[in-house]
Structure 1
Amino acid sequence: MLDKLSMCVEVVSASVNHQCLQEKFMALEVTQILLNAQAVDGSVRKHAEESLKQFQEQNLPGFLLSLSGELAHDEKPVDSRKLAGLILKNALDAKEQHRKYELIQRWLSLDVGVKSQIKTYLLQTLTSPVHEARSTASQVIAKVAGIELPQKQWPELIGSLLSNIHQVPVHVKQATLETLGYLCEEVSPDVVEQDHVNKILTAVVQGMNASEASNDVRLAATRALYNALGFAQANFTNEMERDYIMRVVCEATLSPEVKIRQAAFECLVSISSSYYEKLAPYIQDIFNITAKAVKEDEEPVALQAIEFWSSICDEEIDILEEYGGDFTTADSDIPCFTS
């Protein structure tokens, strides 16, 4: 009887200790622990890392909620917010496939209410004036989308993001385009409905337009298009839509901002391999643009201009190999740009 009573006391004591640890961490401690985890002092850093690990193991839902709340809180230090987001991202993905599978299953098994609150915090962070917090949240949102969209979960996400495009604050638009780009990187094209694909591409290409006053928005949009090109098969078969996309990409290669020019040429390189057979109407303009870039532009841009023609050569070598070394025996619809 005494043994049973002793066991009960131990269980209650452990439960109380666990509750105290949770409340302590979730209140004021989380910020300091995250900062300590980046301390120069090795002993301080190690103690903080152990505290983070202990809380994660003892109460994963509370741990993830604390991190997402930290990321969303504009009055918290930038360094603690960035680390909170990084830990969140690492809690959702891994390079090793077996570990990645474990993390996916772990997320899916969380309480729906907990996941909903975390996602609310993440979307809220996209409106933060702090760039580092927004950028980190963009990556975490994409990781969650990569898990949930294939499971038919979070169906409202893309609609919510697209509604942000029309927000007045420029930084919200920039963060949303960045998020859409990461989302397209994480999610397979067959998971996203064509209607959503069309709206994503419309938002991205409009963000790239020369009429967009913010270079940050144009850069985020151009980088997003690079990731979204794999979703655009149907759009590239439509001449009007293809013409519009190509016109905006080519215009972006002439931007005064070097990063935008580089990102636009990276889009052209991707298009050259994914949509080679659709390039004929645009190849003369692309030749003029790339020739000018190689002669006159800064090295990062010039290298991408060269890479475009390298990619074209690779495509044509593949075609030659497929048709026995003679383009004349190939399908008459397949163009040759380098002969």
Structure 2
Amino acid sequence: MDPNFLKHLNDLTCGDKNLRQQAIDLQNQQLEQNPAGYLLNLANALVCDSVPENLKQLAGIVIKNAITGPNEETKRHHQQMWLKIPAQQRAEIKKVLFNGLGTTNNSGRKGATFAVSSIAIAELSVDEWLDLIPTLAGGIKQNNPVVQEGALQTIALICEDIDPIPSNLENQSGEILNCIALCAKSELPIEVRRASIAAMYGALGIVGSNFEKKAERDYIMQIICNACKEQDVQIQGQALRCLVKTAELYYEFLDDTYMQAIWTITSEIMLTDSEAAPFTVEFWSTIAETERDALEEADFEDSSCSNFAAKILSSLVPRLCANLLKQVDSTDDEDEWNIAAASAACIVVLAECTQDAIIPIILPFVQLINNDNWRQREASTMAFGSILTGDSDSEEVVNMVTQVIGILIQHLGNDSNDCVRSTSAWAISKVASAYPAIIQRDTNAVVTALVAGLSNPDPVIAYYSCFALLEILTCIYPGRQEESTNELSSIFLPLFNELMKAVTRDDADMSKLRITAYETINRLFENAPLDCLKQMNEFIQPFLSQLESSFNLNVDEDDQRQMQAYIPLVLQTITKRIGNDIAAQAKPMYDTLTKVFTTRKVIVDEALTAIATLFEACPQLVKTVFSSFTPYFLAALQNFQDVSILKSALFCLGSLCDALEEDLFKFDNGTLCDNIINTLRSHLQNPVVDQEMRPLIISSFGDIAMAIGGYFNKYFSDFYSVFCAASDITIPPNE
């Protein structure tokens, strides 16, 4: 192996940033100028015995990345590059890689599966390499475990990643299933059986025609169910994932016989400590989601919805509740996905699907909410919050919520366990969302408890307390901002002060506390009554100071991005509420908001939208800053790749039109208007521009015409045909 090429591969992962960048530049240059030669070198490195293991796998990954991509546009470009290589050279590369599927070196074989599958996806999608699956099947039938593993892993990757699925692959689903069945036999090595069930997971997306035939469907389900009974946790977990995918894709083919067999398997695994246990819960969540969506959308006739969730409810819910007691021991691990978290999520979907039917089954567990054992208190609280869908106004549910809300407030304030306290705050947020009228019976008591929780040293408790406050402001106070005063008036200032303390906590970046605190401040300002407006005006300078502090080079990058996104949103809301009263602080606000662009060297849509709102409230500001603002505005207007920035720019354009009127044209004798018009016209003609933006762009022409009046004659004839064409477009149903 050429030592220079080995050095190049090594440099691609080198710790030295300059060497690594040079290697990446060389890679890109070679892929552009000599793709066949470079990819062949990579393929040879992958199968060469003298190449270190880490570089073998890297070679396969580089080939994969060269032929696929992180998004559709890049993937299409890379695949076209591959397909332009002459067929003979492609065949040479594929031959080397195919040999890699049978190498005993695990890293080399894994790299080969990545490479071969990416090439297969590119070629099968255009009806090439049609003998690939038969060739892989032929290798599998040779009974060489190494070849079987490599071939099955390749099939798994192809089936899982190819989209859309070409008919040539669907037509070979029977061959693929035969390979999977052959390698699922218990006497084969564990690695082969793992690869077999992984291939089944991938293949489920292409076996629709097989599922329509009962005998073939039975055979597929038998393979999956047998694998679920394996002692190997990898096989068992992948088999259970197959069940989940089956529920997603083939619900209509599942009958009582299948479901009874699946219940027998999943109910046993569900209560074990197996790493695969959460997948058993996920299967029933998927069934419940499918039936919930069917009931909501009325896609099925009553006779077509099997109501499996309702049938299994009395057996499933007690097991889920038992699993809630396996929660994490600390709020530090509250984001961990485990059997308790999966069970809570399943209860939520079951409640949405079966509504009141779940209440009498789960109520005895909820009633243990004051148990001496903290695990039981937390699990009962979790169960309670999980069934609050807001769909039921039955007396039983309302009485339950009324009785529990006081306990939640008590637990939030006084419980000795932080997990109980954080879950109690979360459950209060669920009550606020589902049954706000119950919160309104004593809003001040609930808010007082949550404000105390907001200052808790534990950031998770603080976050859930903050989130519950956000839900209360969202569900109880919308539409009341024109009231002269209400119960928010007395708590407005103390609540704001506590939220600001939360924003500046050292641990505010944990559990989304800072983001949620800013969102809650914003909602507080949106919904506060009129007697709070004067205080809002006084808050502008503290927020501008906070935004200024984000420009410090020592500020963490994530913290900086959060502050530069959320503070402009808050300033925008204040501007909307106080209108032209903001005039005295309009220029300092503008200067600070544009500083976001100069320090980040990109347009930030939240800051741009805040400026647009400022222009609306204070049109006299526009003429004084227009020259300095134009470059930022045009940069945003030309950025069609980022929908949020383009949308903000169009909003800003409307504000400029309202403020400047004919001066928008007179400012530079139409040069700026020419630029704006040409940019908008280009966007309309560009098929890559998001379709949702087109109506906004067309409306912007109307804004410009209204603003500049007769000067629009210059542009009218060019756009008359465009607007006529737009009016003739037939909008498809449901769009």
Bin of the TM-score, shorter chain as denominator length? 0.7 to 0.9
Q: Which amino acid aligns with 2:214?
A: E
Aligned residue among 257, 261, 273 for 2:248: 273
Q: Deviations over 1:225-277 (max 9, x none)?
A: 11111111111111111111111211111111001110000000011121112
Q: State the structure with bigger RCO (CA 8 A, min sep 6), 1 or 2.
A: 1
Distance 1:104 1:42 in 2: 29
CA RMSD of aligned residues (A): 2.0
Query: Are 2:5 and 1:34 aligned?
Result: no
Distance 1:322 1:36 in 2: 55
Aligned residue among 181, 199, 206 for 1:205: 181
- Cα gap change, 1:189 to 1:39, in 2 (>3 Å): closer
- Please give the secondary structure, in 2, of the residue aligned with 1:80: helix
- Cα gap change, 1:36 to 1:186, in 2 (>3 Å): same
Which shifted more, 260-269 or 144-153? 144-153
Q: Deviations over 1:307-329 (max 9, x none)?
A: 000000011112212339xx8x5
What is aligned with 1:240? 215
Query: Are 2:40 and 1:69 aligned?
Result: no
What is aligned with 1:314? 289
- Cα gap change, 1:230 to 1:37, in 2 (>3 Å): closer
The answer to whether the Cα contact below 8 Å between 2:169 and 2:206 also exists between their aligned partners in 1 is no
Aligned residue among 49, 53, 58 for 1:83: 58
Distance 1:99 1:240 in 2: 42
Query: Are 2:132 and 1:157 aligned?
Result: yes
Q: Which amino acid aligns with 1:200?
A: I
Distance 1:278 1:217 in 2: 29
The answer to whether the Cα contact below 8 Å between 2:127 and 2:168 also exists between their aligned partners in 1 is no
What is aligned with 2:122? 147
The answer to whether the Cα contact below 8 Å between 1:258 and 1:301 also exists between their aligned partners in 2 is yes
How far off is 1:46 after superposition?
4.2
The structure whose Rg is larger is: 2
Distance 1:145 1:230 in 2: 17
Moved over 6 A (4+): none
What is aligned with 1:335? 306
What is aligned with 1:101? 76
What is aligned with 1:183? 158
Query: Are 2:256 and 1:285 aligned?
Result: no
Distance 1:62 1:194 in 2: 33
What residue ranges of structure 2 are gaps of 5+ in the alignment? 311-735
Q: Which amino acid aligns with 1:289?
A: I
Q: Which amino acid aligns with 1:206?
A: L
The answer to whether the Cα contact below 8 Å between 2:10 and 2:55 also exists between their aligned partners in 1 is yes
- Cα gap change, 1:44 to 1:190, in 2 (>3 Å): closer
- Cα gap change, 1:50 to 1:276, in 2 (>3 Å): closer
Distance 2:208 2:20 in 1: 49
What is aligned with 1:252? 227
Distance 1:234 1:28 in 2: 51
- Please give the secondary structure, in 2, of the residue aligned with 1:252: helix
How far off is 1:47 after superposition?
4.3
The answer to whether the Cα contact below 8 Å between 1:38 and 1:45 also exists between their aligned partners in 2 is yes
Aligned residue among 184, 196, 217 for 1:221: 196
- Please give the secondary structure, in 1, of the residue aligned with 2:121: helix
Aligned residue among 90, 97, 103 for 1:115: 90
How far off is 1:193 after superposition?
5.0
Q: Which amino acid aligns with 2:260?
A: Q
Distance 2:153 2:82 in 1: 23
Q: Which amino acid aligns with 1:337?
A: F
Query: Are 2:269 and 1:296 aligned?
Result: no
Distance 1:105 1:55 in 2: 16
What is aligned with 1:5? none
Distance 1:296 1:193 in 2: 38
What is aligned with 2:205? 230
How far off is 1:337 after superposition?
0.9
Identical pairs, percent: 32
Distance 1:274 1:52 in 2: 40
- Please give the secondary structure, in 1, of the residue aligned with 2:309: coil
Q: Deviations over 1:42-94 (max 9, x none)?
A: 45444444443443444222111111111122332112222211111111111
Distance 1:237 1:275 in 2: 9
What is aligned with 2:239? 264
Distance 1:193 1:82 in 2: 27
Distance 2:177 2:305 in 1: 26
The answer to whether the Cα contact below 8 Å between 1:149 and 1:191 also exists between their aligned partners in 2 is no
- Cα gap change, 1:275 to 1:29, in 2 (>3 Å): same
Distance 2:206 2:25 in 1: 42
Query: Are 2:110 and 1:135 aligned?
Result: yes
- Please give the secondary structure, in 2, of the residue aligned with 1:151: coil
Q: Which amino acid aligns with 1:336?
A: N
Q: Deviations over 1:202-234 (max 9, x none)?
A: 21133223x342111111111111111111111
How far off is 1:97 after superposition?
2.6
Distance 1:338 1:56 in 2: 53
How many residue pairs get matched? Answer: 308
Distance 1:232 1:336 in 2: 25
- Cα gap change, 1:172 to 1:101, in 2 (>3 Å): same
How far off is 1:128 after superposition?
0.8
